Amino acid sequence: MRRTSFLALALVTALPMLGPLPAASADASFVVIVHPEIHGDDLPKAILSAIFLRKAPRWEDGVEVRPVDQSMSSPVRAQFTAAVLGVPFNGLQRFWSDQIKDGVQPPPVKTSDEDVIAYVASTQGAIGYVSAGAALPAGVKVMKLGD
């Protein structure tokens, strides 16, 4: 399998971690989706974490990475946050509070799987996550989550 690489890979090694990353779950209740022009078919969890923490700004072809989150009340966001970021919501809220003070904005938030799918399908460089059972159109591509 080809792994997606990033120009910002060096940032990942310097990434201040919010806690240890748990092992990927085979029964994850979410899937990671990207705009269909994104190259590769799997994504290491450390890179995915860096993307959603705004530490990996560009795909390997130079296109800006545009992550999109689900709402804080969404069960799929809770699953994603635990499995990929490895932190509780309050830890993530503290992280973003500090980042906002430094001028770094969190990813935009959508209120449903359908809204995330529409954003990812229509936005170059976009990446998001949706419930495992969500109906996915041809306008998005599923990325496998690797170690």
- 29 vs 1, higher pLDDT: 29
Helix or strand or coil: residue 6? coil
pLDDT digit string (tens) for 15-33? 343 443 333 344 479 999 9
Arithmetic mean of pLDDT, 64-92: 92
**DSSP track, 102-141:** TTPPPPPEESSHHHHHHHHHHSTTEEEEEETT----TTSE
Amino acid letter, 132: A
Helix or strand or coil: residue 73? coil
Whether the model pTM is above 0.85: no
pLDDT, residue 89, reads 78
User: Tokens in use for 76?
Assistant: 């799929």
Longest CA–CA span in the chain (Å) reads 39
Helix or strand or coil: residue 100? helix
Domain 40-146 has what CATH class? Answer: alpha beta
Mean pLDDT, the chain, rounded, equals 84
Q: Kindly tell me if the per-residue pLDDT of 141 is higher than 90.
A: yes
- Which residue in the block uniquely carries the two structure tokens 């530490």? 55
